[in-house]
């Protein structure tokens, strides 16, 4: 009996030594902990903390209320120069030494070159890119976002083409795109209008740029991922496993139908704040038809693209929102609107390799680079 107890003790001791050695090795080779949590800073890298008087003052210097929006909406002021920063991402690819990406706005209130605020030069033609964060290039440098990449791809064949990035410029919902086009974006005198939708424009999802399994999402806040002194190895393993579990939606379940059927009072809080703007409310459909009518009156081509959520990309059959992509495609076909579905661009890819950070599931520079050639081929014949 004593010999058995000694063996058990030796086994436990050797196991602890092995785990300790594994922890030391992991910490020596693994990158430092990176939360990936977003915060804002000014051009001098002073954090814009809305809980402090100094932070509020910096926010007021950079932002303003959009006067013509159908709901309360803030936008960066013309000439704003801010930084989107991610904790723990200092010096990583695509981020500066502070872990930040510059967001500079022109005098006409868009994240674009100042020259595009001027009237078009003789022979110049412009592709007006309207959308939200997937268009503006949230979390990536402006030259890495798809509108600028598309221009770079098209200009060797036609140097007169320019893309105008109007993404997230005080308009982040389809009905806001209509008003902004009429009141602010028309000044750019477009030769093609492209509206980019995302799933959160169409469905009341619970995660911004993703939809999480409700039960798995609740487990993501487990303290194992954030207790000081906790094993880095176990903590990182647990955190990544939880994120993937929460994003894995059973493909046998009709998530699109479920979200379309949600009564307004049962929608997630973020969706409630947006109001009745979703596909089941009929707002995106009416908005697209209003933009089509505006373009027809001016003999300007109009097209729609749909950017997918970067989750469940194993195949189209397993993607939880493929049904919503099909609905938008059918609507555009019915109304004669050229349509590009970007879901197929990302199928077979590891979603985690396409995110800005694990806490920010917007497409990173690689995602924009994958989409740009497909978009360029789509828009080239329309603008000609």
Please tell me whether the overall predicted TM-score, pTM, comes out greater than 0.85 for this model.
yes
Q: How confident is the model at residue 53 (pLDDT cuts 50, 70, 90)?
A: confident
Residue of 92, 116, 71, 63 whose CA lies nearest to 283: 71
Q: How confident is the model at residue 223 (pLDDT cuts 50, 70, 90)?
A: very low
Q: What are phi and psi of 183, to 5 degrees?
A: -95, -25
Asked whether the predicted pLDDT for residue 62 surpasses 90, the reply is yes
Q: What is the pLDDT of residue 374?
A: 98
Over residues 135-155, the mean pLDDT reads 98
Q: What is the pLDDT of residue 316?
A: 97
**CA dist., res. 45 & res. 84, Å (int):** 10
Which range, of 55-64, 130-139, 232-241, 291-300, averages the lowest pLDDT? 232-241
DSSP code, position 286: H
Could you tell me where the beta strands, DSSP code E, fall in the chain? 38-42, 63-65, 74-76, 81-86, 100-104, 125-130, 161-165, 192-198, 302-307, 339-341, 355-357, 360-363
More confident residue, 133 or 232: 133
Query: Which residues in the chain are classed under CATH 3.40.50.1110?
Result: 120-209+256-383
Q: How confident is the model at residue 147 (pLDDT cuts 50, 70, 90)?
A: very high
Q: How confident is the model at residue 218 (pLDDT cuts 50, 70, 90)?
A: low
pLDDT, the chain, mean: 88
Asked whether the predicted pLDDT for residue 19 surpasses 50, the reply is no
- Percent of the chain beyond pLDDT 90? 75
Q: What is the pLDDT of residue 55?
A: 86
Over residues 131-135, the mean pLDDT reads 97
Over residues 227-235, the mean pLDDT reads 54
**CA dist., res. 113 & res. 72, Å (int):** 27
Q: How confident is the model at residue 224 (pLDDT cuts 50, 70, 90)?
A: very low
Q: How confident is the model at residue 214 (pLDDT cuts 50, 70, 90)?
A: confident
First to last CA, the chain: 87
Asked whether the predicted pLDDT for residue 261 surpasses 90, the reply is yes
Q: What is the pLDDT of residue 24?
A: 52
pLDDT digits 0-9 by tens, 192-209: 999 999 999 999 999 889
- Quick count: other Cβ atoms within 10 Å of Cβ 282? 11
Contact between residue 36 and residue 26 where contact means Cβ atoms under 8 Å apart: no
* CATH classification (class only), 120-209+256-383: alpha beta
Asked whether the predicted pLDDT for residue 123 surpasses 90, the reply is yes
- Alpha-carbon radius of gyration of the chain: 24
Asked whether the predicted pLDDT for residue 282 surpasses 50, the reply is yes
**CA dist., res. 379 & res. 376, Å (int):** 5
Over residues 174-196, the mean pLDDT reads 97
Asked whether the predicted pLDDT for residue 5 surpasses 80, the reply is no
**CA dist., res. 128 & res. 192, Å (int):** 6
Q: What is the pLDDT of residue 198?
A: 97
pLDDT digits 0-9 by tens, 322-369: 999 999 999 999 999 999 999 999 999 999 999 999 999 999 999 999
pLDDT digits 0-9 by tens, 76-87: 999 999 999 999
More confident residue, 17 or 260: 260
More confident residue, 222 or 1: 1
């Amino acid at each position: 009996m004593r010999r058995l107890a000694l063996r058990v003790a030796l086994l436990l001791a050797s196991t602890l030594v092995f785990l300790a050695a594994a922890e030391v090795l992991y910490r020596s080779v693994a990158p430092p902990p990176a939360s990936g949590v977003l915060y804002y800073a000014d051009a001098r890298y002073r954090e814009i903390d809305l809980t402090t008087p100094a932070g509020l003052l910096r926010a007021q210097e950079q932002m303003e209320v959009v006067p013509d929006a159908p709901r309360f909406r803030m936008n960066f002021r013309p000439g704003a120069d801010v930084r989107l920063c991610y904790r723990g991402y200092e010096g990583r690819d695509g981020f500066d030494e502070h872990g930040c990406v510059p967001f500079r706005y022109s005098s006409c209130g868009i994240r674009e070159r100042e020259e595009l605020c001027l009237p078009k030069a003789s022979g110049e033609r412009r592709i007006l890119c309207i959308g939200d964060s997937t268009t503006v290039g949230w979390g990536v440098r402006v030259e890495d976002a798809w509108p600028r990449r598309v221009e770079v791809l098209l200009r060797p064949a036609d140097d007169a083409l320019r893309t105008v990035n109007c993404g997230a410029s005080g308009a982040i919902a389809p009905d806001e795109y209509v008003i902004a086009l009429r009141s602010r974006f028309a000044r750019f005198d477009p030769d093609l209008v492209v509206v980019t939708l995302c799933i959160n424009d169409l469905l009341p999802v619970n995660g911004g740029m993703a939809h999480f399994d409700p039960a798995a999402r609740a487990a993501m806040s487990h303290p194992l991922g954030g207790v000081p002194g906790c094993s880095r190895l176990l903590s990182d393993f647990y955190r990544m496993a939880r994120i993937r579990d929460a994003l894995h939606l059973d493909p046998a379940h009709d998530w699109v139908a479920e979200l379309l059927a949600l009564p307004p009072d049962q929608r997630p809080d973020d969706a409630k704040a947006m109001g009745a703007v979703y596909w089941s409310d009929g707002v995106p459909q009416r908005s697209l038809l209003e933009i089509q009518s505006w373009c027809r009156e001016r003999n300007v081509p109009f097209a729609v693209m749909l950017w997918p959520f970067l989750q469940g990309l194993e195949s189209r059959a397993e993607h939880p929102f493929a049904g919503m992509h099909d609905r938008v495609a059918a609507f555009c076909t019915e109304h004669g609107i050229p349509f590009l579905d970007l879901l197929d661009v990302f199928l077979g890819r590891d979603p985690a390799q396409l995110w800005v950070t694990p806490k920010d599931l917007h497409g990173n520079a690689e995602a924009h680079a994958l989409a740009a050639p497909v978009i360029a081929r789509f828009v080239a014949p329309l603008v000609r």
